[in-house]
Amino acid sequence: MQVVERIIRDDRKLVSLLKEYVDYKCQFPDCDSHIPDENGVNYVEVAHIKAVAKEGKSVIGNLIVLCPNHHKEFDLGARNIFTQNTEIISGLLNGKNFEINLAYNYSYKIK
């Protein structure tokens, strides 16, 4: 657990950048989750496809931005990943096909 917490802390910067890149929107197809905080910023979480506890790394290709509901469904649901690389993650989650494009526009923030 300590290791998991340390990894999450170390990756805080990447996590916040990913949320910015996707404009604080859940990346699961057709999700319209809207949980604004007191500043009007939509609440989202960054999920590891391969869990940190199973040595999944906090790198592009293993991280997606999800609403809390889809995050839990990813963790608990019947999941089958077909493709996972730095550009795309696709698979089946509880019988629903999904394809998430990871080709973010990195250039606008990293100068």
Contact footprint for Zn ion (CB under 5 A): 26, 28, 31, 33, 67, 70
Smaller CB distance to Zn ion: residue 7 or 45? 45
For the CB of residue 73, give the shortest distance to Zn ion in the complex, in Å.
8
Smaller CB distance to Zn ion: residue 31 or 49? 31
Q: Which H/E stretch holds residue 97?
A: strand 96-101
For the CB of residue 71, give the shortest distance to Zn ion in the complex, in Å.
8
For the CB of residue 44, give the shortest distance to Zn ion in the complex, in Å.
8
Smaller CB distance to Zn ion: residue 24 or 62? 24
For the CB of residue 31, give the shortest distance to Zn ion in the complex, in Å.
3
Q: Are 90 and 102 in contact (CB under 8 A)?
A: no
Smaller CB distance to Zn ion: residue 57 or 96? 96
Grouping H, G, I as helix, E, B as strand and the rest as coil, residue 54 is helix
Q: Which residues pair with 101 in a beta bridge?
A: 88
Q: How far is CA 72 from CA 2, 10, 69, 104, 111, in A?
A: 21, 23, 5, 24, 34
Q: Which H/E stretch holds residue 46?
A: strand 45-48
